[in-house]
Structure 1
Amino acid sequence: MKIYRRLALGMASSLMLSACTVGPNYQPDRMKLPAGFKEAAQEHPATPEEIARTNKEMVEWWSLFQDPLLSRLVDEAIKGNYDLQIASQHILAERAVRDRAASQWYPQLDANMGGGDVRYSLNIDNWPIRPGNPMNRPEASMLTYGATASWELDMFGRIRRDVEAHEREVEATIEGRRAILMGLLSELASDYMLLRVTQLQIKIATDNIRVARDALDLTNRLYSEGVGNTLQTAQAQAELDAQIAQREPLKTRVSQVTHAIAVLLGKMPGELEDELKQPRDLPHVPEFPAVLPSVVIANRPDVRVAERKYALATAQIGVAVANLYPHFVVPLTFNPNASAMYQAFQANAMSWQFLLMASMPLMHGGKMTAEVRASQATAEAARLTYRQTVLQAFKEVEDSMAAWHDDIEYAEQLHKAAQDSATASERARKLYSAGLVGFLEVLTTERTTLNAQNMEALARLERLRDAVNLYTALGAGWKGVALTNSTLPVSLETQNVLAKAFSQ
């Protein structure tokens, strides 16, 4: 028996020494990328100071808007947003799945014990006499204990490739959480900008209501002096009513945006209304980044997810290929049986086996080779998806840069138009009060002024959103944000004593 045991151990040792990992090793897909972005329009090479400043801006870009309340809301959202917390738990779950796959490397050991009474049938010819029961009675008492173990020898790397694939899945899940974080920051900042611009529009509408009310008072005074007529007073009243009506949807929008911001922070809608509904100045529009080499695309979580998915698919080819090769398993059973407690540990009660088992696929109708081809096609699709993701990332960055540059002149022209319209409106009211123009000219200039002021406010909103969109497109803002762990009241340390002693 010792000879067989030594032989089995020797075979296992030699197989372990000759073990290899089949399947392709992951090689990153090298795309030819431009050195910089076309729309960046850098006129000179970046200095070390500019590079350092840009790298710092990429970490907490929301602070560039110079709005302390926005920065505080971002901090609270990172801590309280439920989508982000859910993504963190998905990472922890994937890590546990990876650890479960890695457990295949180690011997699997289970203990068992039992006892009781059994009865055998006597209606079978040539029933053998059972040891310890010379009368061949059908009843017997039995005690048993023992252990079973199994150890798969990872000769061709099936387990290694499986663990590698799960590790890549963990990394992809981490990048997915970063994508959720970036989406959260982008949505929160955009909602905050919309809130402040809507409040500015309410202020513009309130000022225009005051102007319309002054115009109504003027028409009533002129009518009482015999200069005006009822048509002009009716027109002035209608204009005042219209201005008041235009302000109400803006109030609704403010409430809706404050509710959305509260939910992003993990709070009930309405909790932040008292604070957010207080009008504040618009956030400061940051300067265009000093330097933007194309390598910053690597910060984008969607690009990183696509790259990790490609690595995962490559590892899964190795799993499929390893299934074409023999599998080696070392099974061990130790299971003594007896009819009395004092017999359970005697030599005659001992029962065990220690083997080296090998299995090799021979004929499966092409199933396993089909699995290899499927995994290869999946990996190639993942590589192409990675390339498409990089191209889409470049497009979004270039689009955001183009919008940033174009909206500067657009906002400046609308600001000038709003100022000119306000001047024309004031002059029309003065001429009307002097009886030099009709009230229709006053209404026309006031409506033009209101439209120009609203257009300017929306242009300022676009300028702020251009900055948010650019930093989001560059993949900025996720660095330095730690994962959140599970808070469920379950711990391995509170379970049975074996859970404390062994990694199960």
Structure 2
Amino acid sequence: MRRRAVLFLSAGSLLAGCSVGPNFQPDRMKLPPGFTETAEEHPATPEEIAHTDKEMTEWWSSFNDPVLTKLVEAAIKGNYDLQIAGQRILSERAMRDKAASAWYPQVDANAGGGDVRYSLNIDNWPLRPGNPANRPEASMLTYGMSATWEIDVFGRIRRSVEAQEHAVEASVEGRRALLMTLLSELANDYMLLRVTQLQIQIATNNIRVAQDSLDLTNRLYAEGLGNTLQIAQAQAELDAQIAAREPLKTRVSQVAHAISVLVGEMPGTLEEELKIVKPLPVVPAFPATMPSIVIANRPDIRMAERNYAVATAQIGVAVSDLYPHFVIPLNFNPNASAMYQLFQANAMSWQFLMMASLPLIHGGKYTSAVRAAQAEAEAARLNYRQTVLTGFREVEDAMAAWHDDIEYQEQLHKAAEDSSLASERARKLYAAGLIGFLDVLTTERTTLNAQNAEALSRLERLRDAVNLYTAIGAGWRGVPLTSSALPVSLETQNIWARALKQ
């Protein structure tokens, strides 16, 4: 028996080096050296490159807003979606270990006893010691051990483990992608909050102006220079300005609620703190250098490549089913009718074999699985390429918006200043009786629209920066995986889990 066991194990080790199916090869796309929308006019200096790398790591700090930085840190620690993604990584790692366990012998122990009865209606029923044919009942005691060991000759287990390892990597990139989305949403909400507060200030100023206009109209009417129509128009304008401010207050509350949830708090927890009006964050400078290779930082592209690796390994798993499977089963099950007989030599029963199975006729079941795995791998490769193209488009779009919105905001700022000046002059002319009140209303509404448009353009400038940093895959580096687990220790639940590696 020893000789046979050595033979089986030696044969297994010699054959275990073969893995069927293709090995993963990254799909290298030809990338342009840079982006077409970049503003680089000269090669970046080492200092500029180092500054850009720092911005990529913690891009939110480039807005010079301590409140935003504090919120980002709170979201990284407290966001529940991010913690869920972390648990999925831990789950994938455990599944990888589960797949790897197939490399080792699977051993189980058993013991039992009870009464059995054999049928007398079967011809030539084999008589058992101590159990004559006229006594079909018997007591049985048994104990033993069963084991099985699959020799991974054609790499089915290796390919399964390889696929699971790539799945772990994909889940890591998935968490990074979620982190980027979280930070982008948080920053955009925060910018919207501050710009809405600016719009409330604009609305409050316009209410004051409308109140001044109403007071002026009443005074002119008292002096015999106005009429009740003008008073009604001024009162209606004041009421409209007061009403326009209320939805802005609602938006501030709603955005504050959204930010609270993003950082893992109940809605309203941060409302009082966020309602304190702060200046708008500073728009950071455009990155000093932007080579196209920066696209490799995007977690969605990295995840798509890992998914392609998973699908490639699954081809090997499917192909291995076309080849023989080699298993070494071991069974040791002594049995007897009495306890004193259970450990005698005559009670011994064991089995040690080398089993091989080869699929013969299955109606195309296994070849179809191979074709399906190949198609899935090709789809994953094409999805990787599409993800790269989408990433480039998003970066180019973000760059174009960044550059175009600079001039757009400048023009709106000039329009707001000119409108304010026209509104002030119109009120003076009306007070002098040189123009009608309708002209005053027209200039005031133009001023309000221009100021709101300028505020929204400032919001777009801030969002352009956030979108560019997100598009180039910045913000996930340097953020470690936070591990958490339920307060249940496996070792305290099962003595065998503490004594043996199961």
Deviations 1:16-65 (A, max 9, x none): 21330111111111110011111112111111111111111101100111
Match among 5, 8, 11 for residue 8 of structure 2 = 11
Partner-residue secondary structure (3-state), 2:113:
strand
Tell whether the 8 Å contact from 1:141 to 1:340 is kept in structure 2 after alignment: yes
Equivalent residue for 2:429?
431
Equivalent residue for 1:249?
247
Deviations 1:187-214 (A, max 9, x none): 0000000000000000000000000000
CA distance in 1, matches of 2:338, 2:490: 37
Aligned-pair CA distance for 1:123: 4.2
Matching residue's letter, 1:225: E
Matching residue's letter, 1:443: L
Partner-residue secondary structure (3-state), 1:164:
helix
Partner-residue secondary structure (3-state), 1:488:
coil
TM-score by length of 2: 0.98
Deviations 1:302-345 (A, max 9, x none): 10111001111111111111111110000000000012222211
Deviations 1:118-141 (A, max 9, x none): 233344444443213458523322
Matching residue's letter, 2:328: V
Q: Note the 1:215-234 alignment, pairs <5 A.
A: 215-234=213-232
Equivalent residue for 1:363?
361
Partner-residue secondary structure (3-state), 1:147:
strand
Partner-residue secondary structure (3-state), 1:146:
strand
Equivalent residue for 1:299?
297
Tell whether the 8 Å contact from 2:120 to 2:133 is kept in structure 1 after alignment: no
Deviations 1:277-318 (A, max 9, x none): 111100010000011111111111110111001111111111
CA distance in 2, matches of 1:397, 1:148: 59
Aligned-pair CA distance for 1:371: 1.4
Deviations 1:420-465 (A, max 9, x none): 1111111111111111111111111111110000000000000000
Matching residue's letter, 1:241: D
CA distance in 2, matches of 1:248, 1:129: 96
Partner-residue secondary structure (3-state), 1:38:
coil
Partner-residue secondary structure (3-state), 2:37:
helix
Matching residue's letter, 1:340: A
Q: Does 1:62 align with 2:60?
A: yes
Deviations 1:342-399 (A, max 9, x none): 2211111110010000011112222211211111111111111111100000000000
Tell whether the 8 Å contact from 1:50 to 1:291 is kept in structure 2 after alignment: yes
CA distance in 1, matches of 2:127, 2:250: 92
Deviations 1:458-479 (A, max 9, x none): 0000000000000000111111
Match among 147, 153, 157 for residue 151 of structure 2 = 153
CA RMSD across the alignment: 1.2
Tell whether the 8 Å contact from 2:398 to 2:464 is kept in structure 1 after alignment: yes
Equivalent residue for 2:140?
142
CA distance in 1, matches of 2:347, 2:484: 48
Matching residue's letter, 2:466: V
TM-score by length of 1: 0.97
Which segment is superposed worse, 353-362 or 139-148?
139-148
Q: Note the 1:143-222 alignment, pairs <5 A.
A: 143-222=141-220
CA distance in 2, matches of 1:290, 1:357: 65
Equivalent residue for 2:378?
380
Which segment is superposed worse, 195-204 or 333-342?
333-342
Q: Does 1:344 align with 2:342?
A: yes
Aligned-pair CA distance for 1:413: 0.7
CA distance in 2, matches of 1:90, 1:150: 31
Matching residue's letter, 2:419: S
Match among 470, 473, 478 for residue 471 of structure 2 = 473
CA distance in 1, matches of 2:161, 2:123: 54
CA distance in 1, matches of 2:87, 2:76: 15
CA distance in 1, matches of 2:496, 2:404: 67
- Count how many residue pairs are aligned between Structure 1 and Structure 2: 501
Equivalent residue for 2:96?
98
CA distance in 2, matches of 1:122, 1:28: 68
Aligned-pair CA distance for 1:8: 4.2
Aligned-pair CA distance for 1:10: 0.8
